[in-house]
Amino acid sequence: MRWLYLVATATALLLSACSGSSDDTSTPAPGGPSGPRPGTWLSGDLHLHSDHSDDAADNPIEKLVKVAEERGMGFFTITDHDNHVEGRLTTWDDPAFRSDKMVLLHGVEYTTARGHANLFSAARFDHMRFYALRDRTDAEAGRAIAAEARAQGVHLSVNHPVNGDPWEFGFDMPFDSMEIWNALYAFPTDNSGAIRLWDELIAGGRRITGRGGSDCHHQTGIESLGLNVGNPTTWVYSQAPTAAGVLAALKAGHVAIGYAPTAERIRLTADADRDGGYETLMGDALPAQGQPVAFRVDIDRARPLGIYNVTVLKNGQPFLERRLFGEQVLDFEDTPAAGQRSWYRAEVRGSTPEAPALAVLAGFYGDFVGMTNPIYFGYE
Ligand SMILES: [Zn+2]
Ligand SMILES: [Zn+2]
């Protein structure tokens, strides 16, 4: 995307670069709210372009990896446009695509005339088989792409589904996740449309992970000031710090999206058996038995003076709104209807010091601090 170049140059003077680094990216799960499930929170960015994409020629892999490491990310990928190299991917074989600090995924942006999707894998795969499907326009094209992903064990994730280059292969195909937060939350893409679509798909009975992606193309120039590596950040609760672990967590929806790797992380858990242990994690599905369930929203690494407006959404509609000041936990209870599908997720709005100054002034980041994936009832 090249839209930010349209922003008046003068505004650049008001921007302050995203800053901050942290080693707090693989925080072990606290004993309580996450329950006994073993695992590790890992932060990462799932949509980035390097100089192996024509429109990111000033973004060398070496620099991207360095920035991600400095920001303390736990996993990383680079998703260059496959059409710029006619499907013959070059990113993975670049000697600069290596890290001793982060789990690396094999990634690519499947860039077609009918929309974009990121492909992720723990290992190399035969991308030319996907490339051969790119020009298909028949009704089965989307299913053929999904079948190829299944056959090769590749995670298929639709990008910016309704904005920019919308996805036209259809949403009834079995993909694994969807980019519901691309770049700054409110500008240049209003991500609320993607989130509405996500809720609609879930309402129809699907369990689809929502993820973020910065779509970072540059480390210099005006665009890099507004959006860069890790804005937003996708957090996964992974059983192991491995590529397979990250992808399993992504597929399972054990995923939160936050403003930056150093910003707040939102967590939704539930205690369905009321034993005091919040063992159900976002992404999990429970039977709809008509029993009351205790839920908990945690804001990990909340700022001491942070004010957070928490919205719990039930079945895509605001269910509970609460302002937290000096607290980081919101407990609530509800009874999902017996024998019906319901889903709960949380969004948190407020200010975060991570946001660039102009983004704050202009509301480009939409006061959006973070969100969770849902806990599902009646979807098993
Ligand atoms: Zn794209
Ligand atoms: Zn992209």
Tell how far the Cα of 167 is from the centroid of ligand 2, in angstroms.
13
Share of the chain above pLDDT 90, in %: 79
CA of 291 to the centre of ligand 1 (A): 43
Contacts of 132 (CB under 8 A, 6+ apart): 87
pLDDT tens digits, residue range 173-222?
999 999 999 999 988 889 999 999 999 999 999 999 999 999 999 998 88
Domain range annotation of the chain: 38-262, 264-380
Residue 341 has pLDDT above 90, yes or no: yes
Query: How many whole angstroms from 275 Cα to the centroid of ligand 1?
Result: 45
pLDDT at residue 8 tops 70: no
pLDDT digits (tens, 9 = 90+) for 21-72: 333 333 334 434 445 689 999 999 999 999 999 999 999 999 999 999 999 9
C-alpha distances out from residue 376 to 201, 205, 237, 312, 330, Å: 13, 10, 17, 14, 19
Ligand nearest to the CA of 80: 2
Q: Assess contact for 59 and 27: CB atoms under 8 A.
A: no
Beta bridge partners of 332: 295
83 alpha carbon – ligand 1 mean position (Å):
11
The rounded Å distance from CA 351 to ligand 2 centre is: 27
CATH domain 38-262 topology: TIM Barrel (3.20.20)
Ligand 1 centroid from CA 276, angstroms:
43
CA of 165 to the centre of ligand 1 (A): 7
CA 380, CA 377: separation in Å to the nearest integer?
A: 8
- Mean pLDDT score, 358-364: 77
Identical fold, 38-262 and 264-380:
no
Q: Which residues lie closer than 8 Å to 270 by C-beta, 6 or more apart?
A: 278, 280, 284, 286, 293, 294, 295, 296, 344, 375
Q: Please, which residues have CB within 8 angstroms of residue 112's CB and are 6 or more apart in sequence?
A: 83, 134, 135
What is the distance in A from the centroid of ligand 1 to the CA of 123?
22
SS3 7: coil
Ligand with an atom nearest the CA of residue 159: 1
CATH fold of 264-380, please? Answer: Immunoglobulin-like (2.60.40)
- Distance in angstroms (rounded) separating the CA atoms of residues 115 and 133: 13
Residue-level pLDDT at 380: 79
Beta-bridge partner residues of 155? 120
Q: What is the pLDDT of residue 359?
A: 76
327 alpha carbon – ligand 1 mean position (Å): 38
